[in-house]
Structure 1
Amino acid sequence: MDNKLLQSQTPRLDSIEFFLRIISNHSKINSIEQIEVPLFSIKKDNNDILRALLVDIYIIGDAEVLDLMSRYSGIDAIINISMWNKNTKSAKDMAREQEIGLFEIKEFMGALNCVSRKAFLNYIPPNEREENKKRNKPAF
């Protein structure tokens, strides 16, 4: 299987197995197929198909989003798999402008519940929604 990522960005085998297991058990997912080492086709129960890129990058910033988009065209989501990895707000905004969701793994699991493309791209995790309520910001 092809892999256009740098070795340091490529998820470990156990991370890929973990991803396949949790996605396969998600209530909104019909099937998942590994297209390339880090690229997956995920069919949702509403027949939407997501092309998801799985990466392991400590901090994804703007430069990393641009790099990933140049390596993999036509993706719908970038998932940063390791629990200690983070994505910057500006990188999330940049990806969203290109209609790509940039998620940490827990965020992605929640976003899969969204029916509309807009809700998927703008998904806000429950803890951030609570913080937004406290600060009188929109919950979504």
Structure 2
Amino acid sequence: MENHLLQSQTPRLDSIEFFFNIILNHSKIENIKQIEIPLFSIKKTNGDNLIALLVDIYIIGDAEILDLMSRYSNLDAIINISMWNKNTKSAKEIAKEQEIGLFDIKEFMGALNCVSRRAFLNYIPPHEREENKKRNKPAF
């Protein structure tokens, strides 16, 4: 299996196994298969198929998201696996402009519940929805 990521960006084997198991046990997932070391094909119960790239990058900023998108084409999602990792808002916007969702693992698990592509790309986790309510911003 091919890997276009740098060694430092490649998830550890236990992270890949963790990802595989939690996705397979999600109620909206029919099947998951590994295409390449960090690349997965995820079939949802509604028939949609997602191509997801799993990475382990401490902070995904603008340069990192552009680099990932140049290494992999036809992605639906990029998941930054470690709970310590973060994605910048501007990187999320760059990805969204290319119709790619950029998520941490908790966000991705929530976004899998979305039926439409638009809702998937615009998924807002519950804690951000609460903050938006306090600021009188739209929840979605």
* TM-score by shorter chain over 0.5: yes
Residue 48 of structure 1 corresponds to 48
* Deviations 1:37-80 (CA, angstroms, capped at 9, x unpaired): 00000000011000000000000001111100110000000000
> What runs of 5+ residues in structure 2 fail to find an aligned partner?
none
Residue 135 of structure 2 corresponds to 135
Residue 23 of structure 2 corresponds to 23
The secondary structure found in structure 2 opposite 1:35 is: strand
Distance 1:27 1:118 in 2: 20
Residue 37 of structure 2 corresponds to 37
Distance 2:44 2:67 in 1: 27
* Deviations 1:71-114 (CA, angstroms, capped at 9, x unpaired): 00000000000000000000000000000000000000000000
Distance 1:47 1:73 in 2: 21
TM-score by length of 1: 1.00
Once the two structures are aligned, what percentage of the paired residues are identical? 84
> What runs of 5+ residues in structure 1 fail to find an aligned partner?
none
Residue 76 of structure 1 corresponds to 76
The secondary structure found in structure 1 opposite 2:40 is: strand
Aligned residues: 140
Runs of 4+ residues deviating >6 angstroms: none
The secondary structure found in structure 2 opposite 1:50 is: strand
The secondary structure found in structure 2 opposite 1:78 is: strand
